[in-house]
């Protein structure tokens, strides 16, 4: 089953790439061309029904920039649902407020680099073991 870059989202992904927010444009200048530790990032890559701001396939790492629209309880619930969906596909999501891209650029880049190799550091789940947080298993 195909889940990456579904054809139905192609036009929307292209529109988003052509209309980056100022924070996305700034971060893209620092990520494109494998500038960050030699890792290739894609912008506006989709997984299932969700379009990620930035995605590093080799690290299975998504970077999302959040503006004021993400402050409401509804938006935060949507983001949690989205992150859980991506987690099921083995993708870790890092979220940053837009302002941090401008105010703490180096800190954002360092945090993204800290995310590299996350899957190698994550202990494997025993076969058949329930996922934490599911069915009361906390």
Sign of CA dihedral 125, 131, 137, 138: positive
Alpha helices in 52-126 (DSSP H): 73-88, 98-103, 105-115, 118-121
Alpha helices in 5-117 (DSSP H): 10-18, 22-31, 73-88, 98-103, 105-115
- C-alpha–C-alpha distance, residues 41 and 33, integer Å: 8
Q: What average pLDDT does range 109-120 have in this prediction? A: 92
41 or 135: whose pLDDT is higher?
41
Burial label, 33 (beta-carbon count in 10 A; 0-12, 13-18, 19+):
exposed
Q: Domain coordinates of the chain in residue numbers?
A: 7-121
Instruction: For 53-95, write each residue's pLDDT tens digit.
Output: 999 999 999 999 987 665 678 888 988 999 999 999 999 999 9
Q: Is the pLDDT of residue 126 over 70?
A: no
Mean pLDDT of the chain: 85
- C-alpha–C-alpha distance, residues 82 and 37, integer Å: 27
CATH superfamily of 7-121: VSR Endonuclease (3.40.960.10)
Task: Report the residue count for the chain.
Answer: 138
Q: Is the pLDDT of residue 42 over 90?
A: yes
The alpha carbon torsion through 51, 56, 59, 65 (nearest 10 deg) reads: -60
What pLDDT sits at residue 136?
37
What pLDDT sits at residue 129?
43
């Amino acid at each position: 089953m195909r889940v990456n870059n579904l054809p139905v989202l192609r036009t929307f992904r292209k529109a988003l790439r052509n209309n980056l927010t100022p924070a996305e444009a700034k971060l893209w200048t620092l990520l494109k061309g494998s500038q960050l530790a030699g890792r290739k990032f894609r912008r506006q890559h989709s997984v299932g029904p969700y379009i990620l701001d930035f995605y590093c396939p080799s690290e299975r790492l998504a970077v999302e920039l959040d503006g004021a629209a993400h402050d409401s309880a509804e938006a935060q619930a949507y983001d949690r649902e989205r992150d859980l969906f991506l987690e099921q596909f083995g993708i870790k999501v890092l979220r940053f407020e837009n302002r941090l891209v401008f105010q703490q650029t180096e800190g954002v880049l360092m945090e993204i680099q800290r995310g590299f190799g996350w899957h190698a550091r994550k202990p494997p789940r025993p076969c058949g073991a329930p996922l934490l947080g599911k069915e009361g298993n906390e």
